[in-house]
Amino acid sequence: MVTAVATELSQPNDTELVQRLRSRDKHAMEELLRLHGSKLYGVALQITRNETDAQESVQDALINIWNKIDHFEGRSAFTSWMYRVTANAALMKLRKNKKFEQNISLDAGSDPEENLPQIQLADPASGPAQALTRHELGDHVRTAIEGLPEPYRTTVLLSDVEELSMEEIAAAMEVTVPAVKSRLHRARLALRKTLLPYLKEPV
């Protein structure tokens, strides 16, 4: 069992880190912070869009990682698990601050493409036919996601960027799984429309 868990971890460093966390080594938490702190902060900031909330979310996430490390079964990469814990902490913060009010009706029409506003991006300077670097595409993708109204922005972030399951998102956002699917589909269609000129495999 231990061997199976170890082989499924993403990196040797993470395997060791998990073992040290399980043996209640606080220096391992500091190591985790050094290695993954920026990513955890980025996830929290992307969800809360507020520095103070993001900082508190990271602190809450660290507490949860420390307290729930034995719940990590190694079925996914340790980094993915940490990001999910952080995303959940950020969502709790949003929920507490009641920032989930929708600004777009979900039931406005039967055509999912009708409901979301077109997101504006800069004209593709190098021409749509030219493949972008991952960095350039990343700028467009993040801007497009940022332009989505809530709750679509958070839903697509949690699903397609942070890879939480539909069930996890539904639980965290306190909605049904079908509502998550509907929001996710509409968000993807809006992003597709915006990103269409850039959708080539990154070079």
Partner 1 sequence: MIQGVINYFKCLLNLSDCKNVHKLLFDYVEGNLPPEKQERLTTHLRDCPLCLEYVQSYKLTIKACHDCGAPTEKMPDELADKLRVFIQREL
| Contact positions vs partner 1 (CB under 8 A) | 26, 29-30, 33-34, 37-43, 45-46, 55, 58-59, 62-63, 66, 134, 137-138, 141-142, 145, 156-157, 160-161, 163, 181, 184-185, 188-189, 191-192, 195-196, 198-202
Instruction: State the minimum distance, in angstroms, from the CB of residue 131 to partner 1.
Output: 12
Instruction: State the minimum distance, in angstroms, from the CB of residue 102 to partner 1.
Output: 20
Cβ proximity to partner 1, 51 vs 73, nearer residue: 51
Cβ proximity to partner 1, 5 vs 80, nearer residue: 80
Instruction: State the minimum distance, in angstroms, from the CB of residue 40 to partner 1.
Output: 8
Instruction: State the minimum distance, in angstroms, from the CB of residue 167 to partner 1.
Output: 13
Non-local CB neighbours of 64 within 8 Å, separated by 6+ positions: 85, 88, 89
Cβ proximity to partner 1, 61 vs 173, nearer residue: 61
* CB contact at 8 A, 86 and 58: yes
DSSP for 14-42 reads: HHHHHHHHHTT-HHHHHHHHHHHHHHHHH
How far apart are the C-alpha atoms of 5 and 9, rounded to whole Å? 7
Instruction: State the minimum distance, in angstroms, from the CB of residue 195 to partner 1.
Output: 6
Q: How far is CA 73 from CA 25, 28, 190, in A?
A: 19, 18, 36
How far apart are the C-alpha atoms of 159 and 163, rounded to whole Å? 5
Cβ proximity to partner 1, 5 vs 197, nearer residue: 197
